[in-house]
Chain A
């Protein structure tokens, strides 16, 4: 596949690069705003799970753009992963399900409250839907928990959800805090995708509700699993947002979007910083991934004399590494991994051969 193939498959991916957004998800927030006008009068906003930063970018451009004095606008962005800096955005690196991160965010809003909290966070999906939706729900719960600390009454909360089998339970929890909960699906979100967004408006916590970090905010126990079967108790309206005549994320477009407009390749605005697979890909590139029958490319040398002896029966008699050191300067001449004691002799003879070769 050529480098333009992704541009052909996904028009919003391409538009995001052309318009300078860090990710295609920027359009999702823009389209939600078109429908719900969530940016109206917003001065202070929190972006949870912000990386790579497209939503922060939207907030930064839109809020600072509509404000008379851009410096009045305060945007706090939080993510587990590192993120390239953005104008007017305060960054915190941490996990939002962790208490300490929550405290850190709250500390930025000492005495003040946010008008808008957004969360586009999603876990790296494993492929097991129950785990994925659980983790996604936990992210949402953590985001909601932080929201209850920082959002002003009447404020708006927008978050990504996975519409799995427990989704009605989640709706019921959101309904406790927001009288108006809507499920929105922007046109830029693919039809085939499990994701949707909840737009929760007019924050009004139950009377006497005191936000706390210590107790689990939401407990699901009020809904019994037996009720999973049967008609939906909680009905949340669905709204598809975005212009129907606009771009369709499921459609395949020709590279020449308009007559006479030549296609120009744009590189991604922001490539991932330190993804988990970075090292593994690097190893693969250098052909350092282990292959059967070859010694592992990444064996680290371990000198057993440095170890404290372990109880006798725990010593691994079958996994030894022999290190041959030069008698003069103690430098390592050769190292042999012995998988079983049985082949020690053959390994030794092989080693002889190798050292002979190197000397000659």
Chain B
């Protein structure tokens, strides 16, 4: 906070790397940037937050629990060269006892010492051992803030990691990880050699890279080190034979001579991480490790990998801690997220059990499995090759035959309703049997139906109330029947499924609210039948299956079929074997496609999904494993080996007990697993994840008032190929802001570099969002704020520069994406612009993108058609383009910036002048999409080269900018505009050369813009400037990689035509590698919100005081 000269700047929100975690009594301490956050350890509610360091990030938190007999409420917090000692008071708040003491070098570890020679417990805690990065140990009296001893090791080099072994100074051992691949162990209290330094006892060699962390378990005498070489090495300390019986210490601590004479033996080298390993812990029976590949691995003591889980949204997992009881592990990541792992639940479900049918003299084997629930018990329902329907109860190992019929031999189709009480069983002759669980807890036959005159291809329970069953007979005959308690079946509708290769349904859902039936077919299409009310007095005419779908989403899930359809509120979800979940909005007789749910890339086949609370759990397959995946946690919950998805399988998850049952058939056996996920599903999330990797752009979409609440909508995009739509709320009482992630938009295949938006003209609170990024990809989205303060996101169209949009019939044969030159062009920035040329209706939005191949590309998006059309390619010199912004009306100009430090102003109207015929036709026809041949032979390759050359200059047209001015020595990384009057415009740029410039441009209607006043501050920052934003004509704010947010006062004298910048204030941000900044006015007050993004997000509020 800073208050001077009539203004106030404070940090209101921070979301960045979580680099330190520690349990202390009943709280969890989280270190995020310079802040420490205190969470209650069962509800995971944050009840206290404090900034510990001014200019450093927290890298470690060490609590004072030397022994079980006494624990004091102190914690030492360190980061960079600073150390603070905090006291956790009874009121659950933190108090700084010793504030940010600065040491001469980087701190790697801190240890609370227990000193034998001093009496009372409180006295004992006066000393801390501190290890510094150049292999130096300090004995520090923190009460008096005095260094008692400074001891150096003989091995003098930079350590990347260090860890103290023990907590008694006289027996203390330091293990340091060097850059030259060794762990060096030495005693800080040992005897000095002739150089006044201490020689190491042991050097553990074997790692092939830098050592990133060391952990020692003193009960088991095991040490593990993790490294750049992606391995974890587990070492066991063994006493030498001469002094093995002399352990007198109650803490199981060895004396220095024992440490010296013993030896370390390598037990295991554990390799499973696919990138660097950051940290590992040795527990009593497990080893847990985390790393850069955003995975958490759990190993047993024999070195077998038990689990490997992806987490933290693809970012590094920086921190790991385990509670004392070893029931919980907590991880913190790049994504500002903190996740709890319930070890008992995680390890409860590793094995699948295998069962065979009881053999009765003939060879029978299972055909289908399903799970039924009856009276709190899970049973597996099995239909066999011999036409037997039986149940198996795994708990009692008991088989029960329910029904047996010869016509169900070798083929049958089985379905259980989602409640688990109703069963439908169809056969090859068109017969369908209905079973249900009666009161005495046993499945029994309720009804026999003859629905079709041929094979029943599929049976689906499509609704609970009314209870509807959909059967699919030969040649696409669909039969929707109602089955109620009285078991008088009623065929409601006979429908026709459009022809496709495998002509049957694979999923279905009836939505009574809108009288819609949605079915998915084996060819990946989704069909909608509307107007199907269940209030029919008599069944439809039995003459034929003629009713066609009212709407079809053709092959929307690819060639492998739709697997599940569910409805939540008025949103329809479909999943498919293409590994995607798609969202649709339901209305009266209408279904509109919204967008793709962010699903794991590694799940290639989604079979089913279920909503639990806020979470959507996906069930599917990856290679030979069954996976259940949580979209809320963005990680798998259970992974089971089962042989893959091509088999009969079923899964049931009970939302109240958290019990998950899975069954499938493998060869002639039935595999079965039961796991418990209650806590994992209910309370794994301590702190929400933002972006897993760096954020490149931020866009304030709107600020609207809904129900007296200020609603700020923000879009962010970055390296993780995802756009986050978040809601920022600001608490004026505490002056704290909060970011709530509403939606994660997936669709980009490379990093997102630029965002732009404009309001939709015809719908209130609805916006068009354009995102661009790597691999020359452009996507147009629509965001609508609904009354429930929720945001509906819809993908309208996407455009690749070099590929065909349409799905290929044989996509595996098409390699054009990879072989065309310049498919690697990056869109660096995007702007939406307007033109007052006639003939451009308001239905068309004009989009400009600056490209890394030195072109400016223009597109038109037609709202009515929902289509993007490429209009023009304009060469802009020899350098990579960086930014493109549109001048506010009435200027009608585009400004582009490049890595050559040049700013160019272009006339919008000229761009569009001769587009009339050619592009207008394109807009209408959309037939211009280039067709690519397959690249197999050399001739083909040549052909491609010719085509691509054409593409390279597709609609290329030379244009002269209205104005070119060189403002910076090298790239212009940031630009912001501000309209002062209808004729005056202010322009601010920030460059790679650390300078900041400001220009006043005169222009407007009809006249050629020209710069009237200009100024430049050469060393405005100490590093490249990456963000600038005007607050108004008096203030501009800038940020750079030097982590400063600078506030500048603009002194502009219109008559004198002079302008100057005066630095008012500098504030340090905790966001490293800042890449963008945006400021906007908060309501009508003299308050602005300044949002900085980079490796995280920080929100500042700037307030003018009087």
Q: Is the CB of A255 within 8 A of B1019?
A: no
Instruction: Check: B800 CB closer than 8 A to any chain A CB.
Output: no
Chain B 844-876 interface residues, beta-carbon cutoff 8 Å to A: 851-854
Q: Residues of A contacting B1072 with CB < 8 Å?
A: 128-130, 164-165
Q: Residues of B contacting A220 with CB < 8 Å?
A: 81, 104
Instruction: Check: B54 CB closer than 8 A to any chain A CB.
Output: yes
Q: Report the stretch among A21-29, A36-44, A199-207, A335-343 that lies at the interface.
A: A335-343
Instruction: Check: B270 CB closer than 8 A to any chain A CB.
Output: yes
Residue of A nearest to B640 (CB): A293
Q: Is the CB of B1043 within 8 A of A248?
A: no
Closest-CB distance, B48 to chain A (whole angstroms):
24
Chain B 113-164 interface residues, beta-carbon cutoff 8 Å to A: 133-134, 155-158, 160
Q: Which single member of B57, B304, B826, B995 contacts A296 (CB below 8 Å)? A: B304
Q: Report the stretch among B236-244, B474-482, B499-507, B511-519 that lies at the interface.
A: B236-244
Chain B 1011-1063 interface residues, beta-carbon cutoff 8 Å to A: 1018-1019, 1021-1024, 1041-1044, 1063
Instruction: Check: B55 CB closer than 8 A to any chain A CB.
Output: yes
Q: Mark A278-306, 1 if CB is under 8 A from B, else 0.
A: 11100110001111111110111010000
Q: Mark B821-849, 1 if CB is under 8 A from A, else 0.
A: 11111100000000000000000000000
Q: Report the stretch among A149-157, A225-233, A324-332, A352-360 that lies at the interface.
A: A225-233
Q: Residues of B contacting A293 with CB < 8 Å?
A: 305-306, 350, 641
Q: Is the CB of A276 within 8 A of B210?
A: yes
Q: Which single member of A226, A292, A296 contacts B350 (CB below 8 Å)? A: A292
Q: Mark B212-245, 1 if CB is under 8 A from A, else 0.
A: 1000000111000001111100001011110010
Q: Which single member of A228, A244, A311 contacts B247 (CB below 8 Å)? A: A311
Closest-CB distance, A248 to chain B (whole angstroms):
5
Instruction: Check: B438 CB closer than 8 A to any chain A CB.
Output: no
Instruction: Check: A277 CB closer than 8 A to any chain B CB.
Output: yes
Q: Is the CB of A339 within 8 A of B210?
A: no
The CA of A125 and the CA of B350, in the complex, are separated in Å by: 36
Closest-CB distance, A291 to chain B (whole angstroms):
6
Instruction: Check: B970 CB closer than 8 A to any chain A CB.
Output: yes
Q: Is the CB of B821 within 8 A of A255?
A: yes
Closest-CB distance, A86 to chain B (whole angstroms):
23
The CA of A39 and the CA of B878, in the complex, are separated in Å by: 29
Instruction: Check: A316 CB closer than 8 A to any chain B CB.
Output: yes
Closest-CB distance, B299 to chain A (whole angstroms):
8
The CA of A295 and the CA of B266, in the complex, are separated in Å by: 18
Q: Report the stretch among A70-78, A91-99, A106-114 that lies at the interface.
A: A91-99
Instruction: Check: B578 CB closer than 8 A to any chain A CB.
Output: no
The CA of A131 and the CA of B81, in the complex, are separated in Å by: 11
Q: Is the CB of B229 within 8 A of A276?
A: yes
Q: Residues of B contacting A338 with CB < 8 Å?
A: 302
Chain A contact residues: helix, strand, loop or mixed: loop
The CA of A253 and the CA of B19, in the complex, are separated in Å by: 39
Q: Is the CB of A289 within 8 A of B158?
A: no
Closest-CB distance, A251 to chain B (whole angstroms):
4
Q: Is the CB of A129 within 8 A of B1073?
A: yes
Instruction: Check: A258 CB closer than 8 A to any chain B CB.
Output: no
Closest-CB distance, B393 to chain A (whole angstroms):
22
Instruction: Check: A210 CB closer than 8 A to any chain B CB.
Output: no
Instruction: Check: B994 CB closer than 8 A to any chain A CB.
Output: yes
Chain B contact residues: helix, strand, loop or mixed: loop
Chain B 969-1007 interface residues, beta-carbon cutoff 8 Å to A: 969-971, 973, 992-995
The CA of A310 and the CA of B952, in the complex, are separated in Å by: 72
Instruction: Check: B900 CB closer than 8 A to any chain A CB.
Output: yes
Give the one of B229, B272, B825 with max A CB within 10 A: B272
Q: Residues of B contacting A69 with CB < 8 Å?
A: none
Q: Is the CB of B239 within 8 A of A310?
A: yes
Q: Is the CB of A238 within 8 A of B1018?
A: yes
Q: Is the CB of B1066 within 8 A of A229?
A: yes
Closest-CB distance, A141 to chain B (whole angstroms):
10
Chain B 943-976 interface residues, beta-carbon cutoff 8 Å to A: 952, 969-971, 973
Q: Is the CB of A291 within 8 A of B305?
A: yes
The CA of A187 and the CA of B970, in the complex, are separated in Å by: 8
Q: Residues of A contacting B641 with CB < 8 Å?
A: 293
Q: Is the CB of B106 within 8 A of A128?
A: no
Interface size on A, residues (CB 8 A): 96
Chain B 259-310 interface residues, beta-carbon cutoff 8 Å to A: 265-274, 276, 284-285, 292, 297, 299-308
Q: Is the CB of A168 within 8 A of B1022?
A: yes
The CA of A228 and the CA of B1069, in the complex, are separated in Å by: 11
Closest-CB distance, A167 to chain B (whole angstroms):
5
Q: Is the CB of A225 within 8 A of B157?
A: no
Closest-CB distance, B897 to chain A (whole angstroms):
11
Size category of the B interface is: 35 or more
Q: Which single member of B19, B900, B1019 contacts A232 (CB below 8 Å)? A: B1019
Q: Which single member of B221, B229, B272, B824 contacts A279 (CB below 8 Å)? A: B229
Q: Residues of B contacting A187 with CB < 8 Å?
A: 970
Q: Is the CB of A8 within 8 A of B824?
A: yes
Q: Mark B301-327, 1 if CB is under 8 A from A, else 0.
A: 111111110000000101000000000
Instruction: Check: A221 CB closer than 8 A to any chain B CB.
Output: yes
Closest-CB distance, B179 to chain A (whole angstroms):
5
Q: Is the CB of A290 within 8 A of B304?
A: yes
Q: Residues of B contacting A291 with CB < 8 Å?
A: 272, 305, 308
Q: Residues of A contacting B822 with CB < 8 Å?
A: 8, 252, 254
Instruction: Check: A84 CB closer than 8 A to any chain B CB.
Output: no
Q: Is the CB of B992 within 8 A of A191?
A: yes
Residue of A nearest to B238 (CB): A308
Q: Is the CB of A296 within 8 A of B301?
A: no
The CA of A226 and the CA of B2, in the complex, are separated in Å by: 13
Instruction: Check: A14 CB closer than 8 A to any chain B CB.
Output: no
Instruction: Check: B886 CB closer than 8 A to any chain A CB.
Output: no
Closest-CB distance, B976 to chain A (whole angstroms):
18
Instruction: Check: A176 CB closer than 8 A to any chain B CB.
Output: no
Q: Is the CB of A238 within 8 A of B1019?
A: yes
The CA of A165 and the CA of B306, in the complex, are separated in Å by: 42
Instruction: Check: A19 CB closer than 8 A to any chain B CB.
Output: no
Q: Residues of B contacting A309 with CB < 8 Å?
A: 244
The CA of A235 and the CA of B900, in the complex, are separated in Å by: 23
Q: Is the CB of B239 within 8 A of A290?
A: no
Q: Is the CB of A219 within 8 A of B104?
A: yes
Q: A221-B104, A318-B284 are in contact. Are A2 and B819 (CB under 8 A)?
A: yes
Q: A194-B1073, A276-B208, A290-B270 are in contact. Are A238 and B995 (CB under 8 A)?
A: yes
Chain B 871-920 interface residues, beta-carbon cutoff 8 Å to A: 878-880, 882, 899-901
Q: Is the CB of A130 within 8 A of B1063?
A: no
Q: Is the CB of A167 within 8 A of B993?
A: no
Q: Residues of A contacting B853 with CB < 8 Å?
A: 251-254
Instruction: Check: B1068 CB closer than 8 A to any chain A CB.
Output: yes
Q: Which single member of A168, A194, A252 contacts B880 (CB below 8 Å)? A: A252
Instruction: Check: B92 CB closer than 8 A to any chain A CB.
Output: no
Instruction: Check: A271 CB closer than 8 A to any chain B CB.
Output: no
Q: Which single member of B180, B228, B247, B1063 contacts A124 (CB below 8 Å)? A: B228
Residue of B nearest to A262 (CB): B945
Q: A229-B1068, A240-B970, A308-B240 are in contact. Are A280 and B1018 (CB under 8 A)?
A: no
Residue of B nearest to A296 (CB): B303
Closest-CB distance, B717 to chain A (whole angstroms):
15
Q: Is the CB of A250 within 8 A of B231?
A: no
Closest-CB distance, B621 to chain A (whole angstroms):
15
**Interface pairs A-B: 9 shortest CB-CB:** A276-B209, A319-B301, A163-B1023, A129-B1072, A337-B302, A280-B230, A250-B880, A251-B880, A240-B970
Q: Can you report 24 residue pairs joining A to B where beta carbons are below 8 Å apart?
A: A2-B819, A9-B824, A99-B156, A124-B210, A163-B1024, A167-B1042, A191-B899, A232-B1022, A238-B1019, A240-B970, A250-B852, A250-B971, A252-B853, A280-B230, A280-B271, A292-B308, A294-B305, A296-B305, A298-B303, A308-B244, A311-B252, A316-B220, A318-B301, A339-B304
Given A229-B1044, A276-B208, A339-B300: 14 more A-B contacts, CB < 8 Å: A9-B824, A95-B179, A127-B1095, A128-B57, A135-B158, A164-B1023, A229-B1067, A240-B969, A251-B854, A274-B208, A277-B229, A294-B305, A296-B304, A318-B285
